[in-house]
Every structure is written in C-alpha cells, then in structure tokens.
Structure 1
C-alpha cells in the first residue's frame, strides 16, 4: 500500500519529507535501526525536490556521524560535474554538515573509471556498509515513471537479483549511468517518493494504482515498513 501525503507545493513536499527524515534518523539512533548499531543507512536522490529537501537538512538536529549516505543512481560523470547527483548533494548538504567522509558512499565515476568497474565496486560497498539494506530510500520520479535510472521496458528495471547495474542506453542523457535496482529498493524499510509537477500526474496515479513496474517503474518501488508518496497538488490531478 502506498501512503499519500498530499501538500500544496513542491516546497511543502521538501519540508514534509525533511521533517520525516529527521524523525526517522533520530529514531534509528535510539532503536538501532536495520543493523542494530544506531546508524541510519539512507539513499539520496537528485532532482528538484530531492535536492530541495537536502537543503532543508543543513541545520537539522541530526548526529551525522551516525548516518551513512548512498545514492540511488549516478550519471557517468565526475563528482565535480554539474550533473553529478553526488556533487549536487554535497553542494546542497554534505559539505555543510559534520558527516565523516567515510560515511559518504559515492559511485566513484569519472576520471577514467570504467562504468563496469564502478558498478562492481559499488555492489561491494552496498554489501559491506548496508548488508541488511537501507533505513530510508528516497526517490524522485520522471514523468514517464522512472526512478533511479530504472526506465520503462529496460533491462535494469527487469533485474531480479543484482543490487547495482550499469545502464548504457538511458533515454535521458547521458546514456551511461549506474543505478540501484528494484532488489536494492526492496531491501529498504522506508521508500519515499518526492513528486511535484503536472507532467508527473499520470505516473503518480499509476504508482497509487500499483501498475506494472515495467510500464511505470515507480509503481514497483515498495518499502518493507512503509511506502510514502509525498505529492504536490499539481501532480495529483488524476487522484
């Protein structure tokens, strides 16, 4: 079941998700979380709402030493490139809080690193630092329903076992990316989609309806504890 948190604007999507993020991270520090060590494993997302949410966390009451950060996907560019999800997250949040560098788990793309090698290395990173999965997996969504770099009718979207895959034919440039897959998403306690924009209304309705993930990938994103769609009014026209 998808729980819909409907708000008026994209700014309110960011605020609602940020408040819930703070609550969960602090709860994990007290209860132990998925791994029992009090460290929250969180997967960040890019996009306007995802980055907007991160900006709101700069002054949040969070012990960042107890947070491990992962990325749902990454374009095959260096972290210094403006299209890098990690780079955007660093600029919005990570460079402004006291999080140990060792707790930031990027894909290491760019600078001559082969895509296949980066994907293989990231599988080991996920296995080593989040062997039980994630406490929170944040997702943006495209108008056609893609999440991470899982696009309709793609091999990565159909993957049933590997946690990380290379994408070489993304319909949205750049073509080469690395992505967490649905098996990785399914290991998260909480999966939250941050969605705004009238062009995403049909996809949002398909998420709530539980459509075929091959047609509408976001509809296949489900958390173990909860799945929440933080939805702005302009993307809720068909609900």
Structure 2
C-alpha cells in the first residue's frame, strides 16, 4: 500500500544533491544488509546526475557492495549509443564507470542505432524487466508486480510542467495502463522520441524519491503535493509502496502550503 509523501527541504541545490547521495548510500547499505543485493532506478537531469557525482565523491561510497547493485532507468532519450544526452551515458561518467559495477547489472534502454523505433526499444526493455522478475521469483523473492523485479529505490526528477520520467501532462503515456514500458512520440521536451517506465511500473517501487531544485519547479511541486490529478500533474501520481519522499530545495518549496513546510523533515534527516 502506498504511503503519503514526506517532504525534506534543503537550503540549495548543491546541498540537496549531497543529501540525495548520502541517503542513497545509506539505503543501499540497509537493503543489502537485509537481502544481499539491491536495485535502484536512476533518473537523469542536472540534479539526478549531480547526486550520482556526489556519490562518486563520497568516502562513504565504499560501504556499498556495488557488485551487488542492479541499475535500471526510469526513462531515456531515444538517441544513438554514446550520445552525450543519453541519461545512461551521463550516469556512467558521473558514477558507474568509477565503481566497477558489472555490465550485466547495468540495464540501459535500447539505442536509436540498435532499434528501428522507440516502441521496439520499449518492448525489449519490458522483456528485460520481465526476465529479471522471473529470476527473482525463482529465488523466492515476493514481487509487488510479477512483470517487474523489486525496485528498492526509484529516483525521479520533476519538470516545470510536472512531468516525471517521460510521462508528460495530458499525453497518452501518463494514461497508459497494463504496460510497464512505453515508447513516447512528440514529447514537448526535446528530443521528442523517448522511452519511459509507466506510472504502474514506477509505483511498484518500494521507495520513490522525487528530487527537485529550482524556482521554475515550484509550481509543479506545489500542485503535486496539493493533491492534483496525475493526468494533469504526473508528479502527483508517483508513489512508493513503502515511502514517497520529496527531496527539494528552498526555491522549489516556495509554493508549498505552510503545513507541508512545517511538517517536513529537516535536511539532516
């Protein structure tokens, strides 16, 4: 069962990225202590990649057994392999290439030079998720959704229009049911062709963390936490099964109701 969101407000984007990194290391250690391995779903964007860079720079990163962490992505730009705008390329440069993680644990979306369309790449990613889920089920892991492996932590950014992953307001993707991965066409944010987990897949995660910085995101944050509908405000629909955590800076928090600011966690939590 999903939980009500918790809010943690930080003075600025730099401290927010450092806090996300510290939380990520701590949570991965906890999960590995519980079950040996851990799975995280990564996001792109300035803050998402900044948090990975902060993990790479942290002495605490050695507390995690990176050989026992699986990495998936919430969405990707449908571009050729190695393109600098791909989330996976940026994540590798920021962290993954520095921690010696095995390639079989890094699950990238398919590229535009390997698949004829983003829909074909989406189908392949859904199949990879299904295969991973079947392996975990065979190991006795109780899955929230038999089509998906257990996502321990799923990271999301939020756009000024309140999109998450590549699920945009009022578009078909945010309305999709019965699928775990979709191809996206005509996205309002370039490039127009993308691949994304659906809201069903996102909400299968044990914990969903929405990391948001900047005054241009304040309206989206305010609407999402005020209970807006997810079709109009996709960020409002992202909920973890055990925890939903909004990690935001002061500028992004500027349009929050006072009750949420007063009841939110401090940046030390």
TM superposition score normalised by structure 2: 0.85
Q: 1:233 aligns with which of 233, 239, 250?
A: 250
Distance in structure 2 (CA, Å) of the matches to 1:143 and 1:129:
33
Q: 2:172 aligns with which of 155, 168, 173?
A: 155
TM superposition shift of 1:117: 1.9
Q: For residue 51 of structure 1, what is the aligned residue in structure 2?
A: 49
Q: For residue 156 of structure 2, what is the aligned residue in structure 1?
A: 139
TM superposition shift of 1:132: 3.9
Preserved CA contact (<8 Å) 1:133 1:184:
no
TM superposition shift of 1:133: 3.1
Q: For residue 35 of structure 1, what is the aligned residue in structure 2?
A: none
Gap runs ≥5 in structure 2: 134-147, 257-269
TM superposition shift of 1:12: 1.3
Q: 1:75 aligns with which of 74, 77, 81?
A: 77
Q: How many residues align?
A: 234
Distance in structure 1 (CA, Å) of the matches to 2:32 and 2:74:
23
TM superposition shift of 1:78: 2.1
Q: For residue 107 of structure 1, what is the aligned residue in structure 2?
A: 109
Distance in structure 2 (CA, Å) of the matches to 1:230 and 1:103:
26
TM superposition shift of 1:112: 4.1
Distance in structure 2 (CA, Å) of the matches to 1:238 and 1:168:
31
Preserved CA contact (<8 Å) 1:116 1:166:
yes
Preserved CA contact (<8 Å) 2:81 2:113:
no
Gap runs ≥5 in structure 1: 33-37
Q: CA RMSD in A?
A: 1.1
Q: For residue 196 of structure 2, what is the aligned residue in structure 1?
A: 179
Preserved CA contact (<8 Å) 2:129 2:149:
no
Q: Which is higher, the Rg of structure 1 or of structure 2? A: 2
TM superposition shift of 1:111: 1.5
Distance in structure 2 (CA, Å) of the matches to 1:128 and 1:136:
19
Distance in structure 2 (CA, Å) of the matches to 1:71 and 1:121:
14
TM superposition shift of 1:206: 1.5
Preserved CA contact (<8 Å) 1:70 1:104:
yes
Deviates more, 1:110-119 or 1:210-219: 110-119
Preserved CA contact (<8 Å) 1:79 1:86:
no
Preserved CA contact (<8 Å) 1:3 1:229:
yes
Distance in structure 1 (CA, Å) of the matches to 2:80 and 2:28:
29
TM superposition shift of 1:2: 1.0
Distance in structure 1 (CA, Å) of the matches to 2:27 and 2:110:
28
Q: 1:215 aligns with which of 232, 237, 247?
A: 232
Q: 1:39 aligns with which of 34, 37, 40?
A: 37
